[in-house]
Amino acid sequence: MAIRTYLLRGRGAMLEFLPEPSVEALAEQIVAFSNSTGGTIILGLDADGHSSGASSDDLEPLFVRALGLCAPPFRPMDLPEWTVEDASGDQVVAVTVKPAPNVLRTASGAVYVRSGTLNVRLHPDQVLPAAERPAAVSFEEQSVPGATLDDLDPEIIAEYQRNRVARGPRGEAFTQAELLRDAGATDASGQPTAVGILLFGRRPEQFFPQVGVVLVRFRGTSLREAAVGAERYARRTEIAGPAARIVEGAWAALFEEIDHQPVVDGLERRERYAYPLEAVREAVVNAVCHRDYAISGQRIEIRLFDDRLEIVSPGGLPGHITLDNILDEHYSRNPRLVRGLYHWGYIEELGQGVDIIYEAMRREHHPEPEFRDAGRSFAVVLSNTVDDLEAEYEGLLNERQIMALRFLGDHGRITNRQYQHLCSDVSSETLRLDLRDMVEKGLLLKIGNKRGTFYVRK
C-alpha cells in the first residue's frame, strides 16, 4: 500500500508510526499487534509524514533485535513482513504484523494488546487462556469458499465509496479494486473475504446464516409472563443483508415500536420517547459491529419488554475488555467492519459507543445501562424508567436537593441532621443553604425553630 494511504488513514487500531524506534518500543508494538488483530508499523516516518532519514539498512538490525525480544519465538510462517517503501525520496519501512496463534510477551514478560491508538499492558489475570486466543487469521480476513466478486453488490459498494469520500481525508482517491482491498473486502488474490461479504454482499446470509437481527416485541416484563398469554409476542421481525442495511432495518423497526408521547417544553412541542434514541441507535450499531461472527446458529436478538429493551449479541466481551473496564478501555473484535461502518456514517467517534449510551441515558434521566456478559453472549439492557424528580427540577435544583425531595417522598419530613446523614461529605453550612434555597423557591415549608426544625413539601 502506498505511504500516502497510510498517512491519510492515520494512527489507529491497526496502524502505528515509529519514526525513530528503540528496540524495546518496536518489540512492544509487535507484541501488541500480534496479540490483537494484527497491524502495520511504519518505521522511519511520523504520522505527519516527516522522515527521520533512517535507511532500511539502519532499521533492519533494529528489527531483528526486536524480534529477539518477543517470546515465544515466531514460527517462520508467522514472522512479521518487512517491506521497503519510498516516501518522497526517503526510504521507509512497513512492518506488517499478523495475529499470533499464541500470546506473545516482551523480554520482560509483559503482555500488550492494541486498544485504539494505545498499547495496553495486561494484568496477568487478564491474559487469555489458550482456547480464547485469537486465531492466526481473524474471521474478517478469511476468504469465503465459493464466493466471487459477483456476490458483492455494486450499488452498495458505490454507496460506500461516496460516503468514504465524504468522511475520509480530503483528496483521498481509490479505484474500486483499491477501495475493496483497503476495506479488507478482498484478499491478495482479489477474492471476497468475510468482511467483504458482511459489508458489501448481495445476500450475506447465504454464506453466513448467523448474520442478521431478530426483533421481538414481547407482552409483559419477562419471557415467563409473555408465555402465559394467548400470544407470546406482539411482533417478530427479521432483518438481513449487508451490515449497513441491518443497521437501517433494525433502527426503522425499533423506531416503530418505541412508545412516545408529545410534551410541551416552554413554547416548544416535542416528542418524548420511552428510550433515548441516541442510546438505542448506538446500542444497535455496537451489536452489529462487535458481535462474534464466528459463532454460527445465533443472530443478534433485540427484545422489547414493557419496561426495558435488551440487545443480545453472540459472543462475550472481546480481548481484554471486562465489565469493570468497559468505559475506560476499547478493543474491537471486528476492526475492519467497524472502520467500514464509520466511513458509512453510522459511527461518529471510534471507540465512543458505550460512553454515548451512558451519557444519553443520564441526560434524559434514565437509570444507567446494564451490561451482562454471559461468555457466549453479551447484552445491553436499557430501562424506560425515568426519574421524574430529576426531569422536573433539572437546572433548578442540585443533586443533593433532589435527594432531599426523594427522602421527603418516602418519609414526609426531613431535618437538618437527616439531610447531613444523606450528604455526609458536604459541610453543614452548604446543606443549610440548600434547604433555605428550596424554601425560597416555594418547594419546602420550614416548621419549628432551632433543634426542633424540620421541613415538609409545600
Cβ partners under 8 Å of residue 437, min gap 6: 401
Under a CB-based contact definition with an 8 Å cutoff, are residues 248 and 239 in contact? Answer: no
Q: Where are the alpha helices (DSSP H) in 201-242?
A: 223-228
Q: Are strands 260-265 and 370-373 parallel, antiparallel or unpaired?
A: unpaired
Domain at 3-128, CATH from 3.30.950.30, 1.10.10.60, 3.40.47.10, 3.40.50.2300: 3.30.950.30
Amino acid residing at 297: G
- Which pLDDT score is estimated for 270? 65
In this predicted model, what pLDDT tens digit does every residue of 165-189 receive, in sequence order? Answer: 887 777 677 788 888 988 899 988 8
The hierarchical CATH code for the domain 213-386 is: 3.30.565.60
Helix (H) / strand (E) element for 279: namely helix 277-290
Give the 3-state DSSP-derived string for 127-141, with helices as H, strands as E and coil as C: CCCHHHCCCCCCCCC
Amino acid residing at 370: E
Could you tell me the pTM of the whole model?
A: 0.66
- Which pLDDT score is estimated for 89? 66
In this predicted model, what pLDDT tens digit does every residue of 29-38 receive, in sequence order? Answer: 999 999 887 8
Under a CB-based contact definition with an 8 Å cutoff, are residues 120 and 68 in contact? Answer: no
**Residue 338 C-beta-side C-alpha neighbours within 13 Å:** 24
In this predicted model, what pLDDT tens digit does every residue of 258-300 receive, in sequence order? Answer: 887 666 555 566 677 889 999 999 999 999 999 999 888 899 9
Nearest in space to 284 (alpha carbons), one of 260, 315, 321, 309: 309
Q: What angle do CA 56, 57, 63 make, to 5 degrees?
A: 75
Q: Where are the domains of the chain?
A: 3-128, 149-206, 213-386, 391-457
Architecture per CATH, domain 391-457, reads as: Orthogonal Bundle (1.10)
Give CA separation, 376 vs 138, 337, 371, in Å. 18, 20, 14
- Which pLDDT score is estimated for 384? 92
Is 50 exceeded by the pLDDT of residue 131?
no
Average pLDDT of 423-435? 90
The span from the CA of 7 to the CA of 233, in Å, is 51
Q: How confident is the model at residue 337 (pLDDT cuts 50, 70, 90)?
A: very high
Q: Are strands 377-383 and 370-373 parallel, antiparallel or unpaired?
A: antiparallel
Is 80 exceeded by the pLDDT of residue 45?
yes
